[in-house]
Amino acid sequence: MTETAAFSDTYTTARDRFLEAAQAAGGDVQYYVNPHAKGPSGETLSMDTAWFGPRDASAVLLNTCGTHGAEGFAGSAAQLDWIKEGGPTTLPPGVAVLMVHAVNPFGFAWCLRGTENNVDLNRNWLDHSAPHPENPLYEQIHPLLCPKRMDEKAIRRLLNEGARLIAKHGLWSIEDAISRGQYSHPDGFHFGGTSLEWSTATLKELVERELATTRQVGFIDWHTGPVGDGELIYLCFSPPGSPGLAQAKHWWGREALNADHVDQLWGSKRPTRNGILFWGIEEALASHATFAGAVVEFRSSSPKSNAAEALRVSMLERWLRFEGGLDAPEAASYLAEIREDYAPDRESFRTNVIRNARTTYEQTLAGLAEWRGADAAD
């Protein structure tokens, strides 16, 4: 298949192609239908999984896409390309792959980042019976991010008031407050929810069941967003000095995991995180499995000239959800803008995504085989 042929135009097409290819390649396929939401034309929304390789494999690559909805177009293409290009026939002995297609099918289908409840799944995997992480600075920024109208006045206010807050608190603190996750404003940015989302609970349950006897788990969660053209950013959340970080460096290279290098690609020092899938899955499997991996970003969006441009796509999503509605006259053009940032049509982007994904799958599966061998020899 050509490098860009695995890209689909809609969630439903992507889903159908994933299921068909997985079955044709001998994958063991499961469906998890979201009972709480539908797609824009009433489509069924489902998280689908496919297992390739021996059921009793001691080392498994868990590979998710669509955690952030519309970011799933690239990850879905990477998964489909791997299946269609014969990936399942080249698995090293004792290594299997568990692919999870569309962790957030609502966002994928509607071309949005959050879930049906405006929840950012990479802030949601927490013990919600305990006090939530605080984010007091977000309170001050929230009104600026949530205008009633997406007009010039709102942009000027955001830039002027934002500049004042940056002068007082520093740029990084403001960026961090906006994106680290907040648990107080359900209509705001990076809302982490007040209970586990359907997506999180479903993923947790399936990972615990499917990987109950796995000893080494590799993890790739495909995302898109930062400015670029399909180049990769490896966001590893294993602490410095940990065996997980050592594995990731071994698979993908020291430079790719170097913190300064990652910050440079990301565009600033990485913000704080709470409630991410990476830690949730690691903890869910901690009794029996060692864990290594990363959120892997395909850089996708166009360069931005100021903070208002950088925040625009998130503001459009929030406006559609809470002010204008997804059936507003502006919806089609706003959704197209959002899609252009997360899933551009550019040929160069699509080609780079597939080339980089192929290399990453190869490196990760070889790394898992080696890790398995080393652990078996202990």
User: Which member of 68, 101, 123, 132 binds Zn ion (CB under 5 A)?
Assistant: 68
Dist. CA 89–CA 236, nearest whole Å: 28
**Which CB sits closer to Zn ion, 278 or 334?**
278
Least gap, CB of 36 to Zn ion (angstroms): 21
**Which CB sits closer to Zn ion, 190 or 215?**
190
Q: What is the total count of residues that contact Zn ion (CB under 5 A)? A: 3
Q: For residue 269, what are the contacts with CB-CB under 8 A and spacing of at least 6? A: 172, 263
**Which CB sits closer to Zn ion, 104 or 352?**
104
Least gap, CB of 69 to Zn ion (angstroms): 9
Which stretch, 30-38, 70-78, 144-152, 311-319, contacts Zn ion (CB under 5 A)?
Answer: 70-78
Dist. CA 99–CA 108, nearest whole Å: 16
**Which CB sits closer to Zn ion, 68 or 249?**
68
Dist. CA 63–CA 100, nearest whole Å: 6
Which stretch, 43-51, 61-69, 185-193, 286-294, contacts Zn ion (CB under 5 A)?
Answer: 61-69
Nearest to 47, CA basis, from 18, 25, 21, 26: 18
Dist. CA 143–CA 160, nearest whole Å: 13
Least gap, CB of 213 to Zn ion (angstroms): 30
Q: For residue 241, what are the contacts with CB-CB under 8 A and spacing of at least 6? A: none
The SS3 assignment for 215 reads: coil
Buried b (16+ CB within 10 A) or exposed e, 272-292: ebbbbbbbbbbebbeeebbbb
- Asked if 223 contacts 75 with a C-beta cutoff of 8 angstroms, the reply is yes
Which stretch, 13-21, 58-66, 67-75, 299-307, contacts Zn ion (CB under 5 A)?
Answer: 67-75
Which stretch, 54-62, 68-76, 255-263, 264-272, contacts Zn ion (CB under 5 A)?
Answer: 68-76
Phi, psi of 232, rounded to the nearest 5 degrees: -95, 145
Which stretch, 60-68, 74-82, 265-273, 304-312, contacts Zn ion (CB under 5 A)?
Answer: 60-68
Dist. CA 285–CA 276, nearest whole Å: 15
Which stretch, 29-37, 196-204, 218-226, 322-330, contacts Zn ion (CB under 5 A)?
Answer: 218-226
**Beta strands 95-101; 290-298: pairing state:** unpaired
**Which CB sits closer to Zn ion, 210 or 297?**
297
Least gap, CB of 122 to Zn ion (angstroms): 7
Least gap, CB of 192 to Zn ion (angstroms): 14
User: Which member of 17, 190, 215, 223 binds Zn ion (CB under 5 A)?
Assistant: 223
- Asked if 115 contacts 152 with a C-beta cutoff of 8 angstroms, the reply is no
**Which CB sits closer to Zn ion, 68 or 123?**
68
Least gap, CB of 226 to Zn ion (angstroms): 9
- Asked if 6 contacts 343 with a C-beta cutoff of 8 angstroms, the reply is no
**Which CB sits closer to Zn ion, 3 or 71?**
71
Least gap, CB of 365 to Zn ion (angstroms): 23
Where does this chain bind Zn ion (CB under 5 A)? 68, 71, 223
